[in-house]
Amino acid sequence: MTTSAPFSSGPIGIFDSGVGGLTVLRAIREAFPGEDLIYLGDTARVPYGNKGTETVRRYSVNVARFLVERGCRALVIACNTASAQALDAVEAAVEVPVVDVIRPVSRYIGEGNARTVLVLGTRGTVASGAYPREIARTGRQVTVLQQPCPLLVPLAEEGWLQGEVPTEVVRTYLGSVLASSSVDTIVLGCTHYPLLREVIAQVATELCGYTPAVLDGGFHAARALGALATMQQRPVNRPGATQFCVTDDPAGFLGVARLFLGHDISAAEHVDIT
């Protein structure tokens, strides 16, 4: 993120390719109950994870510019794929601070005592190498393992958060890697995965014989957002408003949002972004 840009009095913009970024919005809302937020889900073009890098960069820049035009004074990229592939392009395209979901948790790892980290993510995020790269930049000697877990996204969106099916899927993904490595920290490297945090922690404890730390990028993105000068200079003494925008039919978005937010939302604005 950059902190040198001029600040306005506008809301915080948060964007993702779909609904997963709502876990990040939830963390930000809990940290800053008085802030106005705008969430944009690029649901017409979801998922970003199977798109080429240049396409992800173009989509992300277009969304970021849209949010800035809406008056946002800071942006949060609530998408691991966009954070991995488009952060520099977004920062170059807008004149407001930008927070992503990869650097903050990587810096937290760099400041701590982790020795072996397991990153769970989509195939695209794992293939990008973003987490090993950012953790290496902290200068700490940390072993970083990665495991793609593509089935966890549809499980989260279908609300299959507990029970035999998600438990067996998680056990299948974690079994071999935890059997051969002493992992002390697990990173939820996809914004859908916090919904399955309980199952992931339970299975990891069973397989390891101890409980690894489980880190949520949304929580650490909220912490990074709070460190911005524009946040520190803006005490707010009223409940913040949240506006939701989507690039496809809002009906599907509204139906899934409750799983990610813990409550219903009444409306989402359909917007066109080229």
Give the Cα separation of 90 and 77 in Å (integer). Answer: 9
> What pLDDT is stored for residue 51 in this prediction?
84
Continuous segment of H or E residues that includes residue 189: strand 185-189
CATH of 12-100+220-270 given 3.40.50.10860, 3.40.50.740, 3.40.50.1860, 3.90.79.10:
3.40.50.1860
> What pLDDT is stored for residue 7 in this prediction?
46
> What pLDDT is stored for residue 52 in this prediction?
87
> What pLDDT is stored for residue 5 in this prediction?
39
CB–CB of 103/134 below 8 Å?
Answer: yes
> Could you state, in order of their start, the residue ranges of all structural domains in the chain?
12-100+220-270, 103-217
Residue 32 CA: distances (Å) to CA of 64, 193, 242 = 21, 22, 12
> What pLDDT is stored for residue 229 in this prediction?
73
Taking phi over 0 as left and psi of -120 to 50 as alpha, with beta for the rest, 51 belongs to beta
∠ CA 239-83-198 to the nearest 5 degrees? Answer: 65
> What pLDDT is stored for residue 8 in this prediction?
52
| Burial status of residue 47 (CB atoms within 10 A of its CB: 0-12, 13-18, 19 or more) | middle
Q: Which residues carry out catalysis?
A: 79, 190
> What pLDDT is stored for residue 238 in this prediction?
79
Examine domains 12-100+220-270 and 103-217 and report if their fold is the same: yes
Global model pTM greater than 0.85: yes
> What pLDDT is stored for residue 235 in this prediction?
61
Using DSSP's 3-state secondary structure scheme, residue 187 falls into: strand
Using DSSP's 3-state secondary structure scheme, residue 119 falls into: strand
> What pLDDT is stored for residue 237 in this prediction?
73
Per-residue pLDDT of the chain (274 residues; tens, 9 = 90+): 443 334 457 999 999 999 999 999 999 999 999 999 999 999 998 888 778 889 999 999 999 999 999 999 999 999 999 999 999 999 999 999 999 999 999 999 999 999 999 999 988 889 889 999 999 999 999 999 999 999 999 999 999 999 999 999 999 999 989 988 899 999 999 999 999 999 999 999 999 999 999 999 999 999 999 998 777 666 667 789 999 999 998 998 998 898 899 888 989 999 998 7
Continuous segment of H or E residues that includes residue 214: strand 213-216
Residue 111 CA: distances (Å) to CA of 3, 74, 134, 141, 168 = 21, 25, 13, 11, 33
CATH 3.30.2080.10 fits 103-217, yes or no: no
